[in-house]
Every structure is written in C-alpha cells, then in structure tokens.
A = this chain, B = another copy of it.
Amino acid sequence: MRDFDLHKYRKERSTLIDRALERYLGASPQAGTIHKAMRYGLFSGGKRLRPILMLASGELFGANVKMLLPFAAAMEMIHSYSMIHDDLPALDDDDFRRGRPTVHKAFGEGIALLAGDALLTEAFHVMTEPDLARSVDSKLTLKLIHEISRAAGIGGMAGGQAADLEAEEGEADIATVEYIHVRKTGALILASVRVGAIVGGAPAKEFRRLNRYGELFGLAFQIADDIMDMTDHSANGREMKKATYPAVVGITAAKGRAGELLRQCLKELEAFDKQAEPLRAIARAVIEPAVENQPRTRKRSAPSKNDELKADR
C-alpha cells in the first residue's frame, strides 16, 4: 500500500465534509453578521483533520459514510468554535489564523464570542436532525452525542483549555503538560476515531486498538503542533509562555517523544490490512514534519501536498 494517495483521499473526504457543512450552514443572502462570522471561521482553510479521521476510522469497519457525515460535520463545527474562542483576547489573543485576521479581528469580539457559542450549539442541532433518525438508530445517536459532548466538555477540551490557561501562570512538569494535551486537543481527536469505530461496529478488540491509536496520535499531534510553533515566528508572547512539551523537555526530547508516539500508534494498526492505510498516512503526514522539522522529500508526492495536513490546530 505504498501507493496510497493521501492527497486524493483527503480531497475527496474534505469535499464530502464541506458539502455537509454547507448543507447545515449554507450561505444565505438575508443571514445576519453572526452567520457570516460562523462561516468565516468554519470555511477558513481548515484541514478537516477530525472529521476525516472519523470517516477513515468508520470506513475501516465498513461504516456508511453518509450516516457518519452529520457527526463529522458537527465535530468540525465544535473544533471551529474552539478555535474562534481560543483566539479571543481572553485566551490566546491571536490576530491571525492561517494568514487571515481571526474572527474577532474581522467581526469584533462580541460577534466572535456569539459565533463560537452558536457553532457549538448548532453542532448538537445537526446531530439531532429528524432526517438522521431514519438512517441511524436513535439510541446509537444518543451514545455518539454523549461521547462527543464528553470530549468537548469539562473532562475534555474545555477542561483542558482551562488547565492550560492556569498552567501558564506556574511551572508545569511533564505530567501536567500531558494531562493538558490529552484533554485540550487529544479528546476531540480520540472521540473522532471512536465515533467512526462505533458507527462501523468495530469488534471489542479492534475497537481497543483504534482507541489506543486515537490516544497516542492525539498526544503526538499536540507535541508536533508545539514543535512547529517553536520555529514559527508568528507565535505571540502568550503562546510562548504556554506549558508545552518542547518548552519543558527541550525540542530534541520533544521530537523524540513525538516520533515514539507515532511509532506506537502505527503499531496499533499493524493488525489491520490496507483498509487502515488512511489512518496510517494521516498520522505520518501530521507528525513526521515536526519530528524531521525539515522540508519533506518523498519520491512520489511533492512536499507541498501533504504538508497541508501537518500539525496545526
């Protein structure tokens, strides 16, 4: 399966996800500013990593992609809300994201706050669309919403963000850094993988492997993200003070840890055949650039292509 084309896979899945997002949050001439701000945040060149992971995990077990799309779209809406709020002056105070002004810079802080709130709320509206009940068992839908809300809430992303904010003020050790990472970024990534596997009806043993893959990859993702940030001159003062792996153990040890986590998460996929190639390729494409931290030179794919997926929250 060295011939697996991640670029093509990504593009096809992104198109499905963006089409679903357009269906739920379509452009409307009479829509208000909040709607524009939500779309600005949602359609801003995001890599759709979480929903693509969800689809890839589901496809591994033969899940119906159409059934997964509302959950994949909701996951991206939740990720997008978290970016909008994260960029606000009260948290990271970032003026730019992916080369564009952040939502609050473009629309004002009040609208950005409300656009984030609305994206989070609409994610749950999407997952409870009456249409969905025709194709997905209602008990299963409730289970998935429970899973996703746990990952986004106090025991997951929101709790991790709060721990991160507090860690800025003190000296963090590596256990604290991992505690934060597992929640702040790891939880949504893990939930994406789990939701796919649940909908695909993964047997218990395979499910545990996917779960481990999600945990290991989620942690590796954040370490890779922080390694990239260390060399990124756009990072602001507040970000520099954050409790990160490279800040605590140094960049070389952080690269070593990310590389080790990548190996471990790929190992969990060894029991699977070529159907797991998307999950393998995604992990490599996201983590390897940070571990190598130099322009990637692969024979078959131009470096620019899969760089699109490299760690970047």
* Contact (A118, B158) CB under 8 Å given A149-B125, A165-B110: yes
Cβ–Cβ contact B128 & A149, under 8 A: yes
Q: How far is the CA of A118 from the CA of B150 in the complex (A)?
A: 10
Chain B residues with CB under 8 Å of A159's CB are: 32, 34-35, 118
Chain B residues with CB under 8 Å of A145's CB are: 124, 128, 145
Cβ–Cβ contact A118 & B34, under 8 A: no
Mark each residue of chain A from 84 to 126: 1 if its CB lies under 8 Å from any CB of chain B, else 0: 0100111100000000000010001111111111101110110
Q: Report if A133 contacts B (CB, 8 A).
A: yes
Cβ–Cβ contact B117 & A88, under 8 A: no
Q: Report if A154 contacts B (CB, 8 A).
A: yes
Cβ–Cβ contact B32 & A122, under 8 A: no
Q: Which of A142-157 touch B at CB < 8 Å?
A: 142-143, 145-146, 149-150, 152-154
Q: Report if A27 contacts B (CB, 8 A).
A: no
Cβ–Cβ contact A125 & B143, under 8 A: no
Q: Report if A161 contacts B (CB, 8 A).
A: yes
Chain B residues with CB under 8 Å of A109's CB are: 89-90
Q: Report if A163 contacts B (CB, 8 A).
A: yes
Q: How far is the CA of A189 from the CA of B144 in the complex (A)?
A: 28
Cβ–Cβ contact B34 & A162, under 8 A: yes
Chain B residues with CB under 8 Å of A90's CB are: 88, 90, 104, 108-110, 112-113
Cβ–Cβ contact A158 & B121, under 8 A: yes
Q: Which of A171-204 touch B at CB < 8 Å?
A: none
Please tell me which one of the listed residues B38, B117, B122, B153 contacts residue A85 in the complex, with CB atoms under 8 A apart.
B117
Cβ–Cβ contact B114 & A158, under 8 A: yes
Q: Report if A275 contacts B (CB, 8 A).
A: no
Q: Report if A264 contacts B (CB, 8 A).
A: no
Q: How far is the CA of A130 from the CA of B111 in the complex (A)?
A: 35
Chain B residues with CB under 8 Å of A130's CB are: 142-143, 146
Cβ–Cβ contact A121 & B165, under 8 A: no
Cβ–Cβ contact B113 & A125, under 8 A: no
A286 to chain B, nearest CB (A): 25
Q: Report if A22 contacts B (CB, 8 A).
A: no
Cβ–Cβ contact A163 & B113, under 8 A: no
Q: Which of A193-233 touch B at CB < 8 Å?
A: none
Chain B residues with CB under 8 Å of A122's CB are: 149, 153-154
Cβ–Cβ contact B125 & A133, under 8 A: no
A151 to chain B, nearest CB (A): 9
Cβ–Cβ contact B117 & A158, under 8 A: yes
What are 17 A-B contacts with C-beta separation under 8 Å? A34-B159, A34-B163, A35-B154, A89-B109, A90-B109, A90-B112, A91-B110, A113-B113, A114-B158, A116-B117, A117-B158, A121-B149, A121-B152, A125-B149, A125-B153, A133-B139, A145-B145
What 9 A-B pairs come out closest when comparing CB atoms? A34-B162, A90-B109, A138-B138, A128-B146, A118-B158, A121-B153, A125-B149, A124-B149, A118-B154
